[in-house]
Structure 1
Amino acid sequence: MDILDDGPEASKTGPSGNTPEFTVSEISGAVKRVIEGEFTRVRVRGEVGRVSRPGSGHLYFDLKDPNAVIAAVSWKGQVARMQIRPEEGMEVIATGKLTTFPGQSKYQLIVDDVEPAGAGALMAMLEARRKALAAEGLFDPARKKPIPYLPAVIGVVTSPSGAVIRDILHRLRDRFPRRVLIWPVAVQGQACAAEVAAAIRGFNALAPGGKVPRPDLIIVARGGGSLEDLWGFNEEAVVRAAAESKIPLISAVGHETDTTLIDFAADRRAPTPTAAAEMAVPVRAELATRLSEMQARISRATQTRMASRAQRLADLSRALGRPEAITRPRRQRFDLVADRLLPALRMVVVRKRAAFAPLEARISPKLLQTYLRVERDRLAGLSDRLLRAEQARLTRAQDRFARLAAMLQTLGYQETLRRGYAVVRGPADQVLTSAATAAGLAPLEIEFQDGRLRVLPSDAPPPAPAPKPAAKPRKAAKTPPDQGSLF
């Protein structure tokens, strides 16, 4: 018990003699000092067991082998600096220090760095992830989109301070200058996967025709490095973002021998960032030369086609004969007919004049005047008949109107008023026909023969008479004085 004897309370003794007494916290602190003093910084190799990531950002997991299990924890700041996060079933080497957790009476390893236990373990995990994502169809060739021939805007997702972006811009400037939008991201470390995925989704979220132009093509680029350096491009978030991109995407991560999972999800894979720039745009000089060649070919083809059509037309025209040979007989026939046309017209005039001569004798001005006079007399007679008929109809209408006016005067209520009757009207000038209706309305208006009179209903209660002044009290009669009795 040398450890206990060194404690600050070693001098305490209990009722059973010289055996010292300790509190739970004292024992826990002594154990913590021993473990932390014996194991300052260790490297532990094992398989990752249960992994927990609470909302605090800390990481809790187990390291195990066939015989034992050690609880491990990485604080939020340590997790952010890790190149590779531990996953369940992964064999790793964890570096940290041993300590205790008094709240649960256990010892644990505070891990500040995790590395795979050899490249084989990391490759095995990468292959398992590739198969799982391929089973979902994220690498299906049918999903891949064609690269635009000459994009107007190119979005580049890479580090703004590396040589990669300078190589891409230099290559684009040499081949065919295009507008380039750079989305700066970390291309290594814990933040790499999240920033690259956010950049791809950010470019896709841009609205066409907005203030910031939407790229026609995206290039995700990074230089070469080890498997651990490129691990961010193997994360599931990056692969899913590349597969979901509506904009065609070229992956240019690492050198030609490096392969990451984003290469399978991208629409095209470039062996280097410079090769990605070459895939993105054609060479302007070559394009101009090709256009010139195509223009020359079109010009030669047009000239050749026009020459062949002209030759064909000439061949066909020989079979048609000369135009003079076709028109000369018709012209000669027209000359013969023209010589006979004038005598024939004269003959027609003579014939028409002979046929008109008998009619000329029957038509004279006197006969026409007689015809006009007869028709004028006939029209005058018709006009007189129409006038007399209209006057008769008007007379009948006037008589009928006079009868109706007399009947209206006889049957109108004014005649009734002359016989002593009256019309009672309400406040809204409505005619009242019953006493019950008139009882509740005031004032009323009575129309006589010679005018109207406003009245009040007679059955209204009369006004109460004014109270009479109270009568003065009478003075009491004076009692005569008592005269006494004579008896």
Structure 2
Amino acid sequence: MKRQFQRVSELMWWIREFSKLHLSGEIEVIGEVRNARINKRGVLDLELVESSKAKSGSYTYRLNCQLANPKSLLKSLKIQSPQELEGLEYILTGSLNFRVTQNRYVLEAYQMQPYGKGSIEKRRNAILKELENAGLYPVKKLASLFELKEPITKIAIIASPGTRGLTDFLVGLMHSPLLPEFDFYPAAMEGASAAKGICKAIESAQETGTQLIVILRGGGAQGSLLYFEDEKLARMVCLSKIPVISAIGHTEDKTLLDYVAHRAVETPTTAGREIAETNLRYLENHERSVEVFFKTFTEIIEQGNIALNRSIKLLTAHKVERYLSSYKREAELQTKRLLSSISAYSKKSEEVLKRDFKELSSKLSRILREKRSSVAARAEDIFTKGKRLEKNLRLYESMILSASPPISALLDAKSEKLK
């Protein structure tokens, strides 16, 4: 069907409306950044460029991009100025809009992440430096899970449900002679919400008594590894009280998660087998320890029997009677020594008692003499006072007798009067 436009502007507006209708979805594009600057409106302008060569010549493809709030963006990318973006590859996410007045398509991006090795490593090193300044990095790496010094009986698994990586891990885990209990925390391994979901799962697993946290991702595009370069995820792993294993299915490049994880393995299969081998090795060492214990115990019993038989032979050679006679003489000697010690102690105690009794008798005699003299003095005083009292009584008696009336004359007179 043929379309006709009366003016160029009409065509431009039609392209805009067509783009809104058919190109309104979210798009993601990768390219090298050039001509990055902040314009007068405070918006970051840049070009995504791709150069390619063909038989007919070289070509350069350009896409204009704009991002609002450039200060926050630069801070998240750990750079100081827009010029530091140039020459490095980034992945931009946003929507494509046709600008009629500018006669061009512009990607209005809301997310920008490092993609090429140069930009990724630059941002990763800046994040690791911040973690190091905060005392969180480097973490204590596990050269082997056997360093946990115990069998692994409970783990936390963080993975996307139904993925190949989860299946491979469980298949490897089935080789364990001691199958661990596990808690499953479903989380997306790709997309803008991946890091946030993994952080939430790590936080939830902290108080469950689990011994190990395993983050699984089974294959996928190389670009999806960018979601494991998240600063908040790295900080959460560093703060985890439980060791974290990274098994995100890549063999060439290390991600930020691999740097901060307590142990990083290439694939989920490797992680499952390593847990199984750790449990197998622990059980083998336990069985070996039991064997060594019984062997040592048996040797001790045998040595004891040998020593006992030697003693029996020695007693038989010297005759039991001679041994008993010697024992009796020794017992008598010890008894005499004991009796002598008791006798010496008794004599010494007797002397001490006699000396103490003599001192006590002397003290009592002195006290009695003092009391006797005191009583005698008091008795003499009482006797003197009694003599003096007796003398006074006699004096009073004579005085009374000399002053008394003639009783007999009075009685005679009274008798006459009555008659």
Shorter-chain TM band: 0.5 to 0.7
Shift in Å, 1:139: 4.5
| Greater percentage in helix | 2
3-state SS in 1 of match to 2:116? helix
2:46 is aligned to: 63
Q: Deviations along 1:260-286, whole A, 9 cap, x unmatched?
A: 221111111122112112233447666
Counterparts in 2 of 1:129 and 1:180: CA distance versus 1, 3 Å: same
CA distance in 2, matches of 1:31, 1:286: 74
Q: How big is each residue's C-alpha offset from its partner over 1:223-278, in whole Å with a ceiling of 9 and x where there is no partner?
A: 12333122111222221111111101111111333422211111111221121122
Q: Please state if 1:47 is matched with 2:33.
A: yes
Alignment of 1:306 with 2:301, yes or no, is yes
Q: What letter corresponds to residue 200 of structure 2 in structure 1?
A: A
State whether structure 2 residue 168 is matched by structure 1 residue 188: no
CA contact (8 A) 1:150 1:281 kept: no
2:151: which partner in 1? 150
Deviations 1:151-207 (A, max 9, x none): 332101111120222222233233121111111011112221211122112212x3x
Answer whether contact 2:153 2:179 (CA < 8 A) is retained: no
SS in 1 for 2:45: strand
Structure 1 residues 393-421: Cα deviation after superposition (integer angstroms, max 9, x where no partner):
xxxxxxxxxxxxxxxxxxxxxxxxxxxxx
TM-score (norm 1): 0.47
CA distance in 1: counterparts of 2:31 and 2:250, whole angstroms: 31
Give the 3 Å change call, closer, same or farther, for CA 189–316 of structure 1 in structure 2.
Answer: same
Q: 1:316 to 1:101 in 2, by over 3 A?
A: farther
SS at match of 1:271: coil
Once residues 243 and 326 of structure 1 are traced to their aligned partners in structure 2, the CA distance between those partners, rounded to angstroms, is 75
Structure 2 counterpart of 1:233, which letter?
Answer: F
Letter in 2 for 1:140: P
- The CA RMSD measured in Å over matched residues stands at 4.9
State how far apart, in whole Å, the 1-side matches of 2:38 and 2:230 are.
17
Instruction: Please tell me whether residue 172 in structure 1 is matched to residue 167 in structure 2.
Output: no
Q: Distance in 1 between matches of 2:306 and 2:31?
A: 90
Moved more, 223-232 or 106-115: 106-115
1:216-365 to 2 correspondences below 5 Å: 216-282=211-277, 288=283, 290-315=285-310, 321-328=318-325
User: Partner of 1:210 in structure 2?
Assistant: none
Q: CA deviation at 1:35?
A: 8.1
Which segments of 5 or more consecutive residues in structure 1 lack a partner in the other structure? 8-28, 53-58, 75-84, 207-212, 335-487
Residues 1:123 and 2:117 aligned together: yes
Structure 2 gaps of 5+ residues are: 1-5, 50-61, 69-76, 332-419
From the CA coordinates, give the structure whose radius of gyration is larger. Answer: 1
% identical aligned pairs: 20
Equivalent position SS for 1:198: helix
State how far apart, in whole Å, the 2-side matches of 1:256 and 1:71 are: 33
How far apart are residue 92 of structure 1 and its match? 4.3
CA distance in 2 between counterparts of 1:171 and 1:196 reads 23
Give me the whole-angstrom Cα distance separating, in 2, the residues matched to 1:65 and 1:164: 34
Conserved? CA contact 2:151–2:282, under 8 Å: no
- 2:106 partner letter: L
Distance 2:223 2:303 in 1: 69
Q: 1:33 aligns with which of 5, 10, 13?
A: 13
Distance across 1 between alignment mates of 2:205 and 2:278: 26
Alignment of 1:134 onto 2:132: no
In structure 2, what is the Cα distance between the partners aligned to 1:50 and 1:178?
55
Q: Name the amino acid aligned to 2:154.
A: V
For residues 30 and 216 of structure 2, the distance between their equivalents in structure 1, rounded to whole angstroms, comes to 35
* Equivalences, count: 281
Structure 2: which amino acid aligns with 1:131? Answer: N
Say if 1:140 and 1:287 are closer, same or farther in 2 by CA, change over 3 A. Answer: closer
Q: Give secondary structure in 2 for the equivalent of 1:174.
A: coil
Q: Deviations 1:312-371 (Å, cap 9, x if unpaired)?
A: 344456667443213347879x9xxxxxxxxxxxxxxxxxxxxxxxxxxxxxxxxxxxxx
SS in 2 for 1:224: coil
The answer to whether the 8 Å contact 1:147/1:217 transfers is no
Residue identity matched to 2:216: A
Contact in 1 for aligned 2:168/2:268 (Cα 8 Å):
yes
Contact 2:214 2:245 in 1 (8 A): yes
2:187 maps to amino acid: V
The separation in 2 between residues aligned to 1:251 and 1:259, in whole angstroms, is 10
Q: What TM-score do you get using the length of structure 2 for normalisation?
A: 0.53
- Which of residues 198, 202, 206 in structure 1 aligns to 2:200? 198
AA of the residue aligned to 1:190: A
C-alpha distance in 2 between matches for 1:214 and 1:314: 55
